[in-house]
Amino acid sequence: MLFGRRKPGYTTTVDGSDPEQIILDLQKAEMAAKKKPKSEVFDMDAASETARRLKETGSVFDGSAAKTGEDVIAAVEKETAALAAKQAAASDAAAASTPEAAAENPAGQDLLDFLAAAPEATNDPFADQPTVTAPELPQLTPAQELAGYIRSRSASALVTPHALLVSEVENADELLAQMPEDPQCQDIVSRKGAKDIYYYSNANMSDNYAMIAQLIEDKDLCTMVSEMVRFNARIYPSATPMRYFRRSPYNLSQEEVEQTWQAMQARPEYADIEELTNNQNERFLFSTKYLTRRYAKAISDVDDYCD
Amino acid sequence: MAETYGWAGKILRVNLTTGEITTEDDTKYHEYIGGMGMGYRIMYDEAPMDLDPYDEKTPIIFGVGPLTGSGVPCSGRMNVTFRSTWSKGKSIIDGHIGGHIGPMLKYAGYDGIVITGISSTPVYLRIEDDQVSLEDASAIWGKGTFASNKWLIEQTGREFESASIGPAGEHLVDYSTMNTSFGNSAGAGLGAAMGNKKLKGIAVRGTGSVKVADPQKVLELSNYMLGNLIGGNNNHNVPAQPQSWAEYSATSGKNRWSGAPGRMWKKAPGGPIDTGEQPYNDINKIALRCFKGYFDFGAPAAEYTVKNGGCSSCPIRCYTEYDIDPLADYDLPTHNSNTCMPVLYGDRVYPYGLHDFKYEGDAKLVINLAWAHAVDDMGVWDNYGNLNRDLQWFLNLPREEALKYVSAEEYDSLPWEWCKAGDPRWEVELIRRMAYGEGDLSVIAKGTLAMMEKFGLPKSWLDRDDGTTNSNLMYNGYPNHHGPAEAWQVGMLYNLVYNRDCMVHEIVCETGSGAPFEVTKKVMEDFFGEGCYDRAKAYTPINENKVKLAAYCVNDKNFHDSATLCNWMWPMTQSPSKERNYKGDLDLQADFMTAVTGETYTQASLQETGEKITQMLRAMTAISFQLNCGSANLRQEHDAICDWVFDKEPDFQAFEEGTTKLDRDDMKKAIDMFYTHYGWDLNTGVPTRETLEKFGLSDMADDLEARGIYSQSTAAAETTAE
C-alpha cells in the first residue's frame, strides 16, 4: 500500500519486515505528535545538531540503527548521553590533575584564555600585515546628526515629516537648510506632500517608495489611490488590483478600499479612474489617461498559467 | 583518468544485462560541455534512433557538467537523456532534476552514467566513490518513491543521496518520473525507461570534490553575482510588493520575489518568520526572497509554511515546505514540498469545485499539495499539465459522453462521492489508477497522442480554442511552455525545437518579472537589438532580432543543461540594481566556466556549443521522424502549429493591442527566418550538410544522406517550386 492511498479506518496486516509498514508507523506516530504540546514534538534542528556533534566527536553513528530497524532518534540520544558521560569523566579527570585551575575557573577553561595561551600560528598569511586601527570618528555637526536620524528612519521604511522634526529639534529648519551644502548630507532629500514636507535618505529609500510613503502620510486616501493607479498605468503599464492597497505598505482594510473608491467616483478629478473585473473575477482600477479599457482588461486577465 | 578542472574526468558505464561496470575517460565529450550535450553525442554514437526506446541497447544517460558541484550559484542540476515513448517521432528527449544528487555524482568522481541493458531482477545502483555495485531492490519494487528512497538511505547510509522510480515507472507508464525524497524529479518518461531496465533507483555518495582552476575568481564572481545580479526565483528583479529600497514592484503583487513584509512562514520551528524586506545587495537575505508558496497560493500559504528549501548551491529556495495538517483528517501525508507543475494543477480534476479546509482560500493549496505528494510518491509525470488538462477534459464530460471512451463499469467505479465532496482522496485515487495503468482512463498517462488514438479523437482536437484543456502548440503530444502568450513569436519558435515541452525560461524570466516594460525593454534591446522585445499583449511583426533572440534562448538552454546551470535562474539578464539600470550580465556564465575549468570561454563560444547541441538534436529528430512517421520533413511533421494559436480571441486581430494570437503569414516568415538562422532547409527544417559540417558533425550529415533524408529536402523543394 502506498502513501496517500489509505482511507480512514483502513487496516492492514502489520508485517515488521515491510519497510513501508515501518514508514507508515512512523507517520502515524508523527501525526500523533502533532497533537502534543510543541515542546514534546521531535525537534529536527536539535537532532541535526546532535548528529553534527556526534560526527565531530568521532561518533560511529552511521545509520546502522536504521538498517537494523532500531529507533534512529533513540540511538542518537543514547550515543549522545554516552559521549556526554565520557566527556564529563575526561573533564573531571583534567580538573583533578590541575586543582588550582579548577578552583579559579570551575566551569572549565575560558575559550579566550585558551586562544591567548595558544602558540602563534606558523605560516600565517596575515602575519606581516600591519595592525589597522579604526580611525577616530569625526565629531558630527548638528546637521549631520539630524541627517543620521532621517537616514535611520528611512532605513526603517519611514519618511520623516517636517512637522516631526521641528517639534523635536528647536533649530530644525536651520539645520535642514545646511544639509544641501554639506557633502555628508547629500543623500537627504525631500518630497512635498499635501500636508507637509517629508524628508528621507535616498541612500536608504527609493524615490518611488518615498512617493508611496508620502501619500500614506498625507492620509488622503482618494489622492493616494488615484495617484498610484495612474502611476502604475503610466509606468508599468498595468491596471491596479484593488487588493494592491490591502497589502504593505498601504495596509487598508477592504472596507476602506471600497469607501475610498466610492468617494472617488463622485468627484470629477478622478473621472479618469475606472474599474474593471478580470476573467478571474478580480477587481482592478485603471486610468483612462494611460490605458484603454480594452487593453487594461486584456493585461489584467490571467491566461492559462504554467510554471 | 584525465581529471581536469571542472570535469571529474570519467563517466561510469553500467550494463544491467551483464552486470558489467566500467569507467571511461570522458575528455572527448568536453567539447559538448557535459550533461545534455554529452548525452546527445553518446546517444547518437551508440544507440541509433533505429532502436526501440525500450531496446536493451538503448541507454539512459545521466549527465552533469563542469559547473555541477563547483560551488557556482544555481548549479545543482542533472540532465538525463533517453528516448521518448510518448511524443511524436519517439525521438531523443531529456529529463532534468535538481536537488543534490547531481553534485553528489560529481563528488563521487563521475561526469555521467551510461546505463544499458536490462536486469532480470529489480536492482539499484550503489555508488560510493569508486565502489560501484548493483544491489537487489526487490524489497522496494512496488513501493512509492518516498518509501523507496528512505529504504535506499537506510541500506546505504545518511551520507548518500538517492532517487527512485515509483509504480508508474515500474508499470511502464509513459508519464513517469524518477524522484528524490524532496520532490525533485526528472520526468518525460524516465521512470518507465528505468522501469523497463528494472532499475529502481540510484544511491550516490561522493567524498571527493570538484577541482576548480581559479577558486579566488569563483568567489569573486559569486560575490558579484549575489550582490549585484541575482533577484528572486526566475531571477525576477523587483519584489512582489513595495519595499523601501526598491523603485518598482510587481503591481499584481504576484511574482517570484514573493517574500515581503507581513508575508510569514507561520509554521517555522521556533515561531513564525516574517520574510520582511530583502534589499537586493544584502546577500544574507536572498533566501527570504522567493516565497514560492505565496506566489502559487497567496496568503493561505503562509499558514502552512515551515520554511523554503532548494537545491545544492542555490540561494534561491524555491521549494516551499509545508505542513498541511488538514490532510491528516484524510489519512494523507501532511509534510509536502514541491515547486513548479506538481503543485499547480491538482485542482483541475475537481469538476464540482473545491471547498476550503482550515483557512479562507486554502482549498487550492491543500488539494494541490495532496496532488504533489501523490504524483511524487507514485512517480507520475504530468507532461507540463497535459495530464491534468486531459483529465479535466474527460471529467467534465457528461456521463453519457464519457461512456464513449470508458466502460460504464469503469466510470462508475470512480469514487465520485469524493469528487463531489472536494475530498483529496479523489485525486489520489485518480493518480493511483494512472500509475498502475488501471482501466481505459489510464491511457491519459500514456500521453495525449495515445489518448487521442484510443479515444478516436481527430487531429483537430488539438486545434480547439480552449486554453483550459488544450495548450498544445503543435501536434506532437506536449504543450505550450512559455510560448507565444508570454514571448510572442520568439516563444513559438523556441517551442518548435524539442521533443517535449521546451523548458526554456529565458524570456518568461523577463516578461514575468514585474518590472516596468520600458526598463526591461531597454535591457533586452541593449543585449539583443532593437525591436526584440514586445509589450505584453501588444505584439509587433517578426524581425531579425527576435529570431536571433529565439535562437539565443535555445542555445543558452542547451548550455545550461550541459554545464549544468538552472535555466530558471540563468542567465543573469536582469539585475535588481538601480545603479546598473537593472541590466544584468550575460557574460557571467562564461566567466564562471573559465574560472572553474581554466579554459577560456566566452558567451559566443557557449552559444556556439549550444547551437551544436541544437543541430545534433535536429538531426536525430529528423532521423526518428523518418523512421517512426515516414517522413523527415520536420516543417510538416514536427513544426506544424495548431490552429488555435492563430484563431483564438476572435474579437482581436493579430498585432492588435490586447491579444497574444499570432498571424499565420507572419509566423511562416518567422519560421523561414529561424531556419535560415540555423542553416536548416527551408522546406523540411532539416540541417543542411553545410550546417552540420560547420559544427563538425559531418558524420551526421553522412547519415542523413545515407538515409535519403536530404533527397526528401530536394523533393520538397521541387514540390514547393511547382
**HEC letters along B418-431:** HHHCCCHHHHHHHH
Q: What is the mean pLDDT of residues B402-422?
A: 98
pLDDT score for A125 = 72
Please tell me if residue B549 touches chain A, with a CB cutoff of 8 Å: no
pLDDT above 70 for A44: no
pLDDT above 60 for A97: no
| Chain B residues closer than 8 Å to A306 by CB | 341, 344, 384-385, 471, 479-482
Q: Are A147 and A201 in contact (CB under 8 A)?
A: yes
Omega into B571 within 30° of 0, i.e. cis? yes
Q: Give the C-alpha distances (Å, rounded to integers) separating A285 from A40, A229, A240.
A: 50, 7, 5
Binned at pLDDT 50, 70 and 90, residue A258 comes out as very high
pLDDT above 90 for B65: yes
pTM: 0.87
- Which neighbouring-strand residues pair with B61? B81, B114
Are the Cβ atoms of A67 and B154 closer than 8 angstroms?
yes
A136 or B659, which is more confident? B659
Provide the pairing of β-strand B123-128 with B199-205: parallel
For chain B, give percent helix, strand, coil, nearest 5: 45, 15, 45
Binned at pLDDT 50, 70 and 90, residue B78 comes out as very high
Strand ranges, E, within chain A: 160-161, 188-192, 197-201, 240-241, 273-277, 283-287
State how far residue B121 is from chain A, nearest Cα, in angstroms. Answer: 19
pLDDT score for A230 = 98
Across the interface, which of A4, A20, A241 has its CB nearest the CB of B373?
Answer: A4
- Which neighbouring-strand residues pair with B79? B63, B96
pLDDT above 60 for A304: yes
What confidence tens digit (pLDDT) does each residue in B519-532 have?
Answer: 999 999 999 999 99
Binned at pLDDT 50, 70 and 90, residue A86 comes out as confident
Are the Cβ atoms of A249 and B144 closer than 8 angstroms?
no
Q: Is A175 left (phi over 0), alpha (psi -120 to 50) or beta?
A: alpha
pLDDT score for A137 = 77
Please tell me if residue B334 touches chain A, with a CB cutoff of 8 Å: yes
Q: Give the C-alpha distances (Å, rounded to integers) separating B580 from A97, A179, B234, B524.
A: 64, 27, 19, 14
- Beta-carbon contacts of residue B702 (< 8 Å; ≥ 6 apart): none
Would you kindly state where each structural domain of chain B is located, as residue ranges?
Answer: 10-205
pLDDT above 80 for A68: no
What confidence tens digit (pLDDT) does each residue in B332-372 have?
Answer: 999 999 988 999 999 999 999 999 999 999 999 999 999 99
Binned at pLDDT 50, 70 and 90, residue A73 comes out as low
Q: Which range (A133-147, B99-113, B329-343) has the least confidence? A: A133-147
Whole-number percent of chain B with pLDDT over 90: 97
Q: Which residue in B528, B678, B508, B526 sits closest to B608, CA to CA?
A: B678
| DSSP one-letter string for B54-66 | TSTT--EEEE--T
Chain A nearest-CA residue for B369? A4
Q: Which three cell numbers stand for residue B548?
A: 536571433
Q: Are B333 and B373 in contact (CB under 8 A)?
A: yes
pLDDT score for A60 = 40
Which residues, numbered 375 to 404 in chain B, qualify as contacts with chain A under a Cβ-Cβ cut-off of 8 Å? 377-378, 384-385
pLDDT above 80 for A256: yes
Q: Give A50's Cβ-side CA count (13 Å radius).
A: 20
The residue whose grid cell reads 559521549 is A83
The radius of gyration of chain B's CA atoms, rounded to the nearest angstrom, is 24
Across the interface, which of B261, B432, B518 has its CB nearest the CB of A5?
Answer: B432
Where do the H-state alpha helices sit in B357-483?
363-378, 386-395, 399-402, 408-413, 416-420, 424-436, 448-455
pLDDT score for A100 = 53
Q: Are A240 and A233 in contact (CB under 8 A)?
A: yes
Across the interface, which of A205, A232, A240 has its CB nearest the CB of B245?
Answer: A205
pLDDT score for A75 = 60
Across the interface, which of B139, B340, B658 has its CB nearest the CB of A19?
Answer: B139
Across the interface, which of A2, A8, A63 has its CB nearest the CB of B331?
Answer: A8
pLDDT score for A11 = 31
Q: What angle do CA B276, B278, B284 make, to 5 degrees?
A: 110
Q: What angle do CA B464, B466, B468 make, to 5 degrees?
A: 140
Task: Given CATH 3.20.20.60, say whether it is the number of domain B10-205.
Answer: no
pLDDT above 60 for A37: no
Q: Which residue in B306, B240, B285, B221 sits closest to B570, CA to CA?
A: B221
Q: What is the mean pLDDT of residues A168-180?
A: 96
Q: Give the C-alpha distances (Å, rounded to integers) separating B25 from A202, B16, B109.
A: 57, 20, 11
Q: What angle do CA B397, B399, B400 make, to 5 degrees?
A: 105
Residue A89: which H helix or E strand, with range?
helix A72-97
| Chain B residues closer than 8 Å to A252 by CB | none
Q: Which range (A110-114, B402-406, B573-577, B700-704) has the least confidence? A: A110-114
Q: Which range (A127-131, B175-179, B373-377, B462-466) has the least confidence? A: A127-131
Across the interface, which of B241, B261, B333 has its CB nearest the CB of A3?
Answer: B333
State how far residue B333 is from chain A, nearest Cα, in angstroms. Answer: 6
Q: Give B189's Cβ-side CA count (13 Å radius).
A: 28
Query: Measured between alpha carbons, how far is A181 from A286 in angstroms, rounded to an integer?
Result: 42
| Chain B residues closer than 8 Å to A292 by CB | 657
Average model confidence (pLDDT) for chain A? Answer: 78
Binned at pLDDT 50, 70 and 90, residue B500 comes out as very high
Angle, to 10 degrees, between the axis of helix B698-706 and the axis of helix B603-629?
Answer: 20
Q: Which amino acid is at B261?
A: P
Query: Measured between alpha carbons, how far is B314 from B323 in angstroms, rounded to an integer?
Result: 23
Query: Measured between alpha carbons, how far is B25 from B2 in angstroms, rounded to an integer?
Result: 6
pLDDT above 90 for A116: no
Interface test with B, best of A151, A153, A307 (most B CBs within 10 A): A307
Are the Cβ atoms of A299 and B658 closer than 8 angstroms?
yes
Please tell me if residue B245 touches chain A, with a CB cutoff of 8 Å: yes
pLDDT above 70 for A34: no
Interface test with A, best of B154, B306, B378 (most A CBs within 10 A): B154
pLDDT above 80 for A71: no
pLDDT above 60 for A49: no
Average model confidence (pLDDT) for chain B? Answer: 97
Q: Which range (A66-75, A245-254, B183-192) has the least confidence? A: A66-75
Across the interface, which of B144, B344, B378 has its CB nearest the CB of A307?
Answer: B344
Q: Which three cell numbers stand for residue B498?
A: 524539442
The neighbour count for residue B558, using CB atoms within 10 Å, is 32
pLDDT score for A138 = 80
Q: What is the mean pLDDT of residues A98-102?
A: 50
pLDDT score for A108 = 52
pLDDT score for B467 = 87
pLDDT above 60 for B476: yes
Chain B nearest-CA residue for A9? B331
| Chain B residues closer than 8 Å to A5 by CB | 428-429, 432
Q: Say how far residue B193 (Cα) sits from the centre of its chain.
A: 17
Chain length of chain A: 307
Are the Cβ atoms of B269 and A43 closer than 8 angstroms?
yes
State how far residue B658 is from chain A, nearest Cα, in angstroms. Answer: 5
Query: Measured between alpha carbons, how far is B591 from B219 in angstroms, rounded to an integer?
Result: 12
A84 or B100, which is more confident? B100
Please tell me if residue B59 touches chain A, with a CB cutoff of 8 Å: no
| DSSP one-letter string for B189-255 | THHHHHHHTTEEEEEEE-------S-HHHHHHHHHHIIIII--SGGG--S-SS--TT-S---TTS-S
pLDDT score for B566 = 98
The neighbour count for residue B578, using CB atoms within 10 Å, is 16
Across the interface, which of B243, B251, B471 has its CB nearest the CB of A244?
Answer: B251
Query: Measured between alpha carbons, how far is B28 from B49 in angstroms, rounded to an integer?
Result: 22
Q: What angle do CA A118, A124, A129 make, to 5 degrees?
A: 115
Query: Measured between alpha carbons, how far is B231 from B257 in angstroms, rounded to an integer?
Result: 7
| Chain B residues closer than 8 Å to A235 by CB | 248, 516, 518
- How many H-runs (helices) and E-runs (strands) does chain A carry? 13, 6
Q: Which three cell numbers stand for residue A120?
A: 602563534
Across the interface, which of B144, B158, B429 has its CB nearest the CB of A63?
Answer: B158
Mapping DSSP to helix (H, G, I), strand (E, B) and coil, where does residue A147 land? helix
Q: Are B449 and B88 in contact (CB under 8 A)?
A: yes
Binned at pLDDT 50, 70 and 90, residue A80 comes out as low
What confidence tens digit (pLDDT) does each residue in B671-682 have?
Answer: 999 999 999 999
Chain A nearest-CA residue for B432? A5
The neighbour count for residue A181, using CB atoms within 10 Å, is 9
Chain length of chain B: 722
Q: What is the mean pLDDT of residues A35-62?
A: 42
What confidence tens digit (pLDDT) does each residue in B547-588 have?
Answer: 999 999 999 999 999 999 999 999 999 999 999 999 999 999
pLDDT score for B401 = 98
What confidence tens digit (pLDDT) does each residue in B600-658 have?
Answer: 999 999 999 999 999 999 999 999 999 999 999 999 999 999 999 999 999 999 999 99
Interface test with B, best of A38, A64, A306 (most B CBs within 10 A): A306
pLDDT score for A46 = 45
pLDDT above 70 for B208: yes
| Chain B residues closer than 8 Å to A62 by CB | 157-158
Q: What is the mean pLDDT of residues B93-111?
A: 98
Q: Say how far residue B226 (Cα) sits from the centre of its chain.
A: 24
Are the Cβ atoms of A31 and B334 closer than 8 angstroms?
yes
What confidence tens digit (pLDDT) does each residue in B142-195 have?
Answer: 999 999 999 999 999 999 999 999 999 999 999 999 999 989 999 999 999 999
Q: Which three cell numbers stand for residue B664?
A: 499565420
Q: What is the mean pLDDT of residues B56-71?
A: 98
pLDDT score for A76 = 57
Residue B493: which H helix or E strand, with range?
helix B484-495
Binned at pLDDT 50, 70 and 90, residue B231 comes out as very high
Alpha-carbon dihedral sign for residues B698, B703, B709, B711: positive
